[in-house]
Amino acid sequence: MLRTLIAALALSAVAFVAPAGAAPKKSFEIAWTIYVGWMPWPYAAEAGIVKKWADKYGIEIKVTQINDYVESINQYTAGKFDGVTLTNMDALTIPAAGGVDTTAVIVGDFSNGNDGIVSKSAKDVKGLKDETINLVELSVSHYLLARALDTAGLSEKDIKVVNTSDADIVGAFKAPDVKTVVTWNPLLAEVKAEPGTTSLFDSSQIPGEIIDCLAVNTETLKDNPDFGKALVGIWYETMKAMEGEAGKPAREAMGKQSGTDLAGYDSQLAATKLFDKAADAVAFVESDTLVKTMELVRSFSFDHGLLGEGAKSKDAVGIGFAGGKTLGDAKNVKLRFDPTYMKMAADGKL
C-alpha cells in the first residue's frame, strides 16, 4: 500500500482544485487502499456493517478500493469521493495544500513500528552518514528518516536519497549495491527478513506522528452530519468485531483481503496503536501532543516544498484542532482534526 506523496505529481494534479460541492445528499462514497489500519473498511462493507449504519440514517455509503494510494487521494481532492483513507501528512500536503477543506473525522491509529529503517551496512542511525538510502521520496518514509537523522545529530545533507517505488523496494534491497531502505509493512517485514540486516529505527520511536485517518470533505460533512454519524458507527462496531478470540474470523478476513493470513495481520496490528475505543481516539485528538506532531509535520512539508509553490511559509495552510486551536493561517484552515463525531460514539449518542 502506497502511503506516499510524490510532490510534483500530486500538487500538479490537485493545484487550484475547488472543494467539492456539498449540497445535502443521500449517497456517499469513500475510497480506501490496502494497509493494516484501513482493512476494517472493506470488512465492514462485506459484513453488512456499512449497510446497517447507512440504513439507520437513511443514506447510502459505498466503500471503494483504489489500487494506488496517491491516486485515491487525488480523486478525493478532485471531488470524486466524499472521503478517503490517508495519513496526517498526506492530508496536509495533498487536499489541504490543494485548497480542499478536509476533516479527519476518524483518527483510527498511528504507526507504532509499522514503518522502519533497515540496513545491511550501518549498525545504528549515526552509521548512516554518507550512506545512500532508498525510499519513496517525500513520503512518510522520508519523514521517518528525517526524524531518525535528527535524533543522531545528522541531517539530510549527510546522506543521499534514491527515490524507489514501494513496488520495487524489496527487490532493490536484494541488490548488493543497495545497503539501506526505509519502508512500511508488509514490505518492512520482508526486508527485515533478509540475512545480515539491522533494524536501525522505526515509528515506535516517534509514537503518534504517523497517523492514519479517514478524512472527508468538510463542507460535505457540515451539510450532512448523518454521514459523519454513520461513519463512526461503522468504525467502532467493526473495532468491536475484531476484539480478542471472538474477533479472529474478522481479523483473518482482513488479513486475507490485504494479502496475508491471520498471523501476518495480527503481527502488523502489534506494530499499530489502534484506537479501537472512541474515548481513546478523542483523548488523542484533544491532546497537545497532536498539535506538536503537526508542527513537526508541517515544518517537514514546507521545507520539502510540499505545501505548494505559492507557500511562503509553513503558515500558508491552516490546521485546526479541538477547542479552537490552530496552527498557521487561521483564515485559511484547510485541515481539521475534529473529535465531534468520535465523541458522539464515546458518549453513546449515535
Q: How far is CA 347 from the centre of its chain?
A: 26
Q: By three-state DSSP, how is residue 121 classified? A: coil
Residues forming beta bridges with residue 273, ordered by sequence position = 110
Of 339, 340, 337, the C-alpha closest to 101 is 337
The helix (run of H) or strand (run of E) holding residue 222 is helix 218-223
How many whole angstroms separate alpha carbon 310 and alpha carbon 319? 17
The helix (run of H) or strand (run of E) holding residue 83 is strand 83-87
Q: What is the pLDDT of residue 138?
A: 85
CB 328 within 8 A of CB 210: no
How many whole angstroms separate alpha carbon 190 and alpha carbon 186? 7
Q: What is the pLDDT of residue 165?
A: 87
Q: Tell me, yes or no, if the two domains 7-110+209-346 and 115-205 fold the same way.
A: yes
Q: Cα dihedral sign for 243, 249, 255, 261? A: positive
How many whole angstroms separate alpha carbon 212 and alpha carbon 110? 6
Q: What is the pLDDT of residue 3?
A: 52
What does CATH list as the number for 7-110+209-346?
A: 3.40.190.10
CB 283 within 8 A of CB 277: no
How confident is the model over 28-53, as pLDDT tens digits?
Answer: 999 999 889 999 999 999 999 999 99
Of 49, 40, 53, 52, the C-alpha closest to 350 is 53
The helix (run of H) or strand (run of E) holding residue 38 is none
Q: What is the pLDDT of residue 310?
A: 87
How many whole angstroms separate alpha carbon 1 and alpha carbon 35? 6
Q: By three-state DSSP, how is residue 315 classified? A: coil
Domain spans in the chain, listed from the N-terminal domain onward: 7-110+209-346, 115-205
Q: Cell 452530519 belongs to which residue?
A: 225
Q: What is the pLDDT of residue 256?
A: 96
∠217-92-268 over CA atoms, to 5°?
95
CB 153 within 8 A of CB 216: no
How many whole angstroms separate alpha carbon 181 and alpha carbon 193? 13
29, 47, 87, 164, 246 from 53: Cα distances, Å: 14, 12, 25, 41, 22
Of 314, 238, 312, the C-alpha closest to 46 is 238
- pLDDT one digit per residue (tens) for the chain, 350 residues: 445 444 444 444 444 444 444 467 999 999 999 889 999 999 999 999 999 999 999 999 999 999 888 889 999 999 999 999 999 999 999 999 999 999 999 999 999 999 999 999 999 999 999 999 999 888 899 999 999 999 999 999 999 999 998 889 999 999 999 999 999 888 898 999 999 999 999 999 999 999 999 999 999 999 999 999 999 999 999 999 999 999 999 999 999 999 899 999 999 999 999 999 999 999 999 999 999 999 999 999 999 999 988 899 999 999 999 999 999 999 999 999 999 999 999 999 99
Is 115-205 a CATH 3.40.190.10 domain?
yes
> Grid coordinates in use for 226?
448523518
CB 26 within 8 A of CB 59: yes
Q: What is the pLDDT of residue 118?
A: 98
